[in-house]
Amino acid sequence: MLSDETNHPSAKGLTDNPWTLRPIAIDDVDGLHTLASKPEVHRYLFDGSAPERPFVEHMVEKSLTDMNTNGVGMWVLQNQLVRYAGAVWVKPDRVTRSAELGYLLDPENWGQGLAVRMAWTAIKHAFSTANIDYVFAGADRPNTRSFALMTRLGMRFRKDVTYPLGPGVEYVLHRDDSGPSPSPELLRICA
C-alpha cells in the first residue's frame, strides 16, 4: 500500500487523471457499500465481515451531520475514471477535542501511496479546524499495512485496545507534532 507510485503500472497518466477527494453525499451509499463489501477491504474493518447497507447509510448520514457541524466527516477518493476508489473519514469528538481517522481503499489501487495521501489530507483538514487537537487511529494487530500507514503519518503509539476481532493498538498524532517526513502530497478536496 505504501510503495513508490511511479513504478506502479496504473501510475501512468496520474497527472492527466489526478485523484481528488470529495465530500460524501447521501447518494454515495450504494457505491460505498459495494466498495466496503469487498473481502480485502472489510478484512480488518466492520468486524471482519461485509457491512449491511443500513450500517453504511448510517455512516454516511453521521458524516453529513459531522461535516455540517464540525467541518470534518467523510470524503470519497475518485478520479475521472473511478468514482469509488476509496474513502477516508474523520469522526470528531467535541468533548475530548479529538477525531478518529479511518479509511478504506479498493485493492485495485493499493501500492500507489493513495492511503497515506488520503489520510494525511484528512488529518491536515481536521487540524485546520479550531476544535480538534489530536487525531487517533487504530488497527487490529495482524493489520501490518495500517501500522505502516500510521507510522508513515508520524503517529505514535497511544494504547493497546481490544477490538471484536482481537487485540489491537491505537496510534495518535497531536496538532503540534511534526507529522510525516517527508510530508505526503495532499489530495485536492473538491466542493
Residues facing 22 on adjacent strands: 76
The string of DSSP letters for 32-63 reads HHHHHTSHHHHTSSGGGSPPPHHHHHHHHHHH
Distances (CA, A) of 166 to 30, 47, 157: 29, 10, 18
Per-residue pLDDT band at 48 (split at 50, 70, 90)? confident
SS3 content of the chain, % helix, strand, coil (to 5): 35, 25, 40
Least confident of 42-51, 95-104, 106-115: 42-51
Q: 92 with 62: CB under 8 angstroms? A: no
Q: Which three cell numbers stand for residue 66?
A: 459531522
Q: Using the predicted structure, report yes or no on whether residue 115 has a pLDDT greater than 70.
A: yes
CA distances from 106 to 39, 42, 83, 84 (A): 10, 10, 11, 8
- What SS3 state is found at 135? strand
Return the amino acid letter for 151: T
Range of the domain at 32: 5-189
For residue 105, what is the domain's CATH number?
Answer: 3.40.630.30
- Total number of residues shown for the chain: 191
pLDDT value at residue 139: 93
- Give the whole-angstrom CA distance, residue 123 versus residue 149: 13
Give the amino acid at 40: E
pLDDT, one tens digit per residue, over 80-97 is 999 999 999 999 999 999
What is the bridge-based pairing of β-strands 86-93 and 156-163?
Answer: unpaired
How many separate domains does the chain show? Answer: 1
The values of phi and psi at residue 71, to 5°, are 80, 0
d(CA 27, CA 40): 24
For residues 146 and 153, the answer to whether their CB atoms sit within 8 Å is no
CA atoms within 13 A on the CB side of 41: 23
The highest-confidence range among 43-47, 133-137, 145-149, 163-167, by mean pLDDT, is 133-137
pLDDT band at 165 (very low <50, low <70, confident <90, very high): confident
Phi, psi angle pair for 97, to nearest 5°: 55, 40
What integer pLDDT is reported at residue 47 of this predicted model? 84
